[in-house]
Amino acid sequence: MTNLDLYAKAEHLLGIEEATEALYDLYRSELDEYQVKTLLDVGCGRGGFMERMISDGIGCKGVDLSRLMIEECQAKGLDAECIDAGDVTGKYDAIVSIFDVLNFMDEQTLVAFLNSMADKLNDGGILIADINTLYGFSDVAEGTMSKDRGDEFLTVDAVFQNDKLDTQFTLFEKQEDGKYVKHQDSIVQYFHKIKTFQKIEKLKLVEKQAFSLYDTEDKTLLIFKKK
């Protein structure tokens, strides 16, 4: 199992449903400002945002590097693939990367990713993403939590150091025979400065909006236009 598949297995124990819905509301209202008929969701997870957009008549495609996430999308009948976003064919009016997806990339990967996404936008197309602020990493995300559901037990231990959040996930899952299986892996998230986004060759940063998801200004919403 990959670290992203472990995240997929653990996500429902993290208590982020309300925050996810609030983020979807924010993206939806930003997208309303533009003429969007087709949308690519990179890091689409279980496809919740695509479901919302499809119900509003928008054509959606999702990609995610977690096979488990994509299997759930496909089971819901969504057009989703477990492929690198750079391998997506076709062009879209809008691309979104919702809930920290850009923080999963180091700076070099991020810059290459953003330029390659510009090539997948129609003229006048937009890309919207959110990132954690320094405060969001150091004061909100850092720390420990645990959740005991009887048949599942999760601990999360996150340390923020040198602009990186290293989060260790440990999940015990009860099997049919009553024994527990242990899964353990870590995910690194990278803090990115706004100036990184102002230097993207093929995208122009047209808006940056600090907002509060869990705490005061723990996130920034970024809106880019294809140059």
Ligand X SMILES: C[S@@+](CC[C@H](N)C(=O)[O-])C[C@H]1O[C@@H](n2cnc3c(N)ncnc32)[C@H](O)[C@@H]1O
Q: Which residues bind ligand X (CB under 6 A)?
A: 4, 20, 42-45, 48-49, 63-66, 69, 85, 98-101, 104-105
* Cβ proximity of 60 and 81 under 8 Å: no
Tokens of 59: 């054509």
Helix runs in 56-199, H state only: 67-75, 107-118, 134-135, 194-197
Nearer to ligand X, 99 or 197 (CB): 99
CB of 49 to ligand X, least distance (A): 6
CB of 178 to ligand X, least distance (A): 30
- 133 — phi, psi (to 5°)? -80, 170
- Residue nearest ligand X, CB atom distance: 45
CB of 176 to ligand X, least distance (A): 27
- Write the CB contacts of 34 (distance below 8 Å, at least 6 apart in sequence): 93, 94, 126
Amino acid at 80: A
CB of 183 to ligand X, least distance (A): 15
Nearer to ligand X, 174 or 214 (CB): 214
The CA distances from residue 190 to 164, 204, 221, in Å, are 5, 21, 16
Instruction: Tell the burial category of 79 from Cβ atoms under 10 Å away from its Cβ (0-12, 13-18, 19+).
Output: middle
Give the number of other CB atoms < 10 A from CB of residue 176: 5
Nearer to ligand X, 69 or 205 (CB): 69
Nearer to ligand X, 67 or 225 (CB): 67
* Cβ proximity of 128 and 30 under 8 Å: yes
Nearer to ligand X, 42 or 114 (CB): 42
Nearer to ligand X, 16 or 159 (CB): 16
CB of 179 to ligand X, least distance (A): 28
CB of 109 to ligand X, least distance (A): 7
